[in-house]
A = this chain, B = another copy of it.
Amino acid sequence: MALEQSLAQLSLATVSSPENEKALPTKSLIFKPKTAKTATPVPIFVLALHDTTTPANIIAKSAGVKEPRLAKDDLVEEFFKTSTKEVSIANLSKDLEGKIKIVLDDNILKAAEKEELLKLSTQSSAAVLPAKTVVEFLKSTGIEIIEVDFSAEPATTAAPASASASANKKEKKTDAKLEDAKLIGITVDKEKDFSTWYTQVVTKGEMLDYYDVSGCYILRPNSYFVWETIQDWFNVQIKKLGVQNTYFPMFVSQRVLEKEKDHIEGFAPEVAWVTRAGNSELDEHIAIRPTSETVMYPYYAKWIRSHRDLPLKLNQWNSVVRWEFKHPQPFLRTREFLWQEGHTAHLTQEAAAEEVLQILDYYAGVYEELLAVPVVKGKKTENEKFAGGDYTTTVEGFISATGRGIQGGTSHHLGTNFSKMFNISVENPDGSDQPIFAYQNSWGLSTRVIGVMIMTHSDNKGLVLPPRIAQYQAVVIPVGLTSKSTDAERKQVNEGAEKIEQSLRSAGVRVTGDYREIYNPGWKFADWELKGVPLRFEFGPKDLAANQVTVVRRNDGKKFNVKLDELETEIPKLLDEMHDAMYNKAKKEFDEHRVLVEDWKDFVPTLNAKNVILAPWCGDADCEDDIKDSSAKKDDGEDEEVDEKAPSMGAKSLCIPFQQPELKEGQKCVKCDKKAVNYCMFGRSY
C-alpha cells in the first residue's frame, strides 16, 4: 500500500523535506543488448545509485548479453510505455516478466539492509522511498533480477587505471591471494570460451577498445605500435623493389567505382556512401573506397604513356571501409581497417608474376620475422580468388585454440583485365597497331595480422607479445620492499632498477619501469602479464646484494638471474631466443594440426578435432562447393541465420600450398571420383 502510494508520487512534483534530503539519489537506465535483427530484444533495466558507475561491459558480463547500449526512445516506449527521460521502477510490472531483466546495483541492497532512503527521479518528477520497499517491489514483479557489485568488477579496459581509491583498499587482499589478480585479468579459459577470451585479451591488454559506431574499433598505442613496426619493416623491403609510397583520395565516384563489373560485384553490398555534406544533398553520391583499384587505375592510364613509364610501382598505407553487416570482430572483421595496398603495372607477365611471389615472401616475413606466426604460402582456388584478377596468392595462418584457418595476406596478379578496362597501355615496340596492355598486380596486408598474432600467442594470463613488435620489451619492477624497509634501502633498490633500465635502453631494448607505490609487486606482475610485455625484471635488496636481477619470460614463465654487467649483451640475445621459441611452438601446433586426409570419411571427423586438412583434390569448383556443404553440420530445422563463425560451418578451401606432398599415381579427389590434380588445404576459417 505504502509502496503503491509512493510510486504514485512519481507522477507528482519533486519532494523536499529534511528527511528526504538524506535520501540516496538513484538512476534508472535502460540498455538494449545486441540482438539478431529477427529476434525480440530483451532490454535490461538498471537501477543503481546515482554515483555508481555502470559500464556496459560489466552489465554485459553480469547479464550474459552482448554489447548492451543505452536504449533508444522507441524501444523504451515499446516496453515501458513512457519515454527514456521518464522511465522509472513505476513502469515495471508482472507483465514484463520474461521480457526484460533487471540489473540491481549491490549498493541498493546495502542501503536496504541499512534501512536507508532512496530518491527515485525522472526528468519531471521524483519520489523518496525506503530502499527496502524498492527491493521488495522489484522482487514482487517476478522479473529476473541480477545483483551486481559494480565496484568489485573492473571496467573493461581500465584494469589498473580504474583501481584508484577502492583498489587502494583492496591491495592487501590482492597481495594475499595472487589468484585474485585474475579479477583484473582474464576470467575465461582460451580453450573453453575462445570468443570471450579474445575480447578480454584485446581490451584488457589495451590493444583495442570498442567504439561507439558498431564494427569500428580504436587501435590503442599497444597495437598501433605493432602496425608502425610492420610499416617500417615492409617499407624497407618494398623500397628495395622500387616501390614508392603515395596517397590517393578516399572518395570514389559511382561511375568510376563500377567500371570493372566482376570486381565491383564483390564489394557493392558493403560500400559506404556519402550522400550529404553539411545540409546539402550531393548531386552525385560518393563512395568511400573499399579498395583502390578503380580509384587509381584511371591515373595509371594517364601516367603510363610509353614503355619507359613501366614498371609503375605504387603503394599506400591507408584505411578502407567495408560496411559488413554481420559479426564484426576486433582486428579480423571491422568496418574500417588500416592496411597497405600495393598496385603495380609491368610490361611483361613474367615481371608481374615474379613480383607477386616476392611480395608474398614479404608477407610471410611480416608473420614469421616480426609476429612469430607460421604461415603456409599457396594459391587460392578460382572460387576464392580476388574478383577481377587472374590469380591470387596467399599466406594462411592457423588458430590452434579453435582449429580454424585464417587468411593472412594476399598478393594478386590481375593480368590485363583491369588494364584493358582502364586502357593502361603503351605502344607496341614491334610497330604494330595493337597496344600492349600492362600486366598488373595488387597486394594488401591489413591490421588483421595483429588479431592473428594475438590469437596465436596469448594465454589465460593475457596478451603475449612477440619481442620484436612489443612497444615495451621489458619492464623493471622493484621488489622486496616492505613497511620495514629503510628509506636508504628503498632508494638503493629504486636507483638500481633505474640503472637496469638505462643498461637495457643503451642496448636498444625498449624498456619501462613501474615505480607506482600504490600497487604491490604481485599486482604489477599480473598487470604487465596482462599487457603481454615479454620480459619482467624483478629487482630487490637480495638482487642488489648479489649484483644481479631476476628475469621472467612472459612466453613460458621461465625465471632466472642475470648478472647486471651482462645485461647489455644477454638481453638482446634473449629476446631473439624468445622470438624463435614462440615461432617454433606455433609452428609445431600448425604442423601437427595440418592433417593429410585422403578418404572422405575421415574429413569431417578430422575437421571436428580442430585440424585443417591437406587433401588430394580434383580442382573442380563444384566439388569445392560440395566439400563445403558436406562438411557443415546440418541445419537443425530452426529458422536461424547461419553464423559463418560457428563451428558448424563447412570447410572452405584455404589455399593450394606451394609446397605439395607428392600425388600418388592415380590418386583420386578426396570428395568426388575425379582424378586429383593437387593437394588443397581445407579448413573452417575466419
Contacts and interface: CB of A to CB of B under 8 A. Distances in A.
Interface of A: 55, 155, 157-158, 161-165, 209, 211-213, 216-221, 224-225, 227-228, 244-253, 256, 268-280, 285-286, 288, 298-299, 302-306, 308-309, 314, 318-319, 321, 323, 325, 335-336, 338, 426-427, 471, 516, 518
Contacts of A338: 247
Nearest to A164: B306
Closest 10 CB pairs of A and B: A277-B323, A221-B244, A164-B306, A216-B249, A269-B278, A219-B247, A273-B276, A213-B251, A275-B275, A161-B305
Nearest to A447: B247
Contact of A213 (B252, B268, B318): B252
B286 A277 contact: no
B314 A161 contact: no
A252 B278 CA distance: 14
Contacts of A272: 274, 276-277
Contacts of A270: 277-278
Contact of A277 (B246, B252, B271, B279): B271
Contact of A303 (B157, B271, B319): B157
Nearest to A323: B277
Main secondary structure of the interface of A (DSSP, over half): mixed
Contacts of A217: 249
B247 A516 contact: no
A299 B246 contact: no
Given A251-B336, A273-B277, 15 more contacts: A161-B305, A161-B309, A164-B305, A209-B299, A212-B298, A217-B249, A218-B299, A221-B245, A221-B246, A221-B314, A250-B336, A271-B277, A272-B274, A272-B277, A278-B323
Given A165-B427, A250-B319, A302-B157, A276 B275 contact: yes
Contacts of A280: 325
24 contacts: A157-B302, A161-B304, A161-B305, A209-B299, A213-B286, A216-B251, A218-B246, A218-B249, A220-B246, A221-B244, A224-B245, A228-B245, A249-B336, A250-B319, A250-B321, A250-B336, A270-B277, A273-B275, A273-B276, A274-B288, A275-B276, A277-B325, A288-B288, A319-B319
Contacts of A218: 246-249, 299
B274 A279 contact: no
In this complex, the member of A55, A276, A325 whose beta carbon has the largest number of chain B beta carbons within 10 angstroms is A276
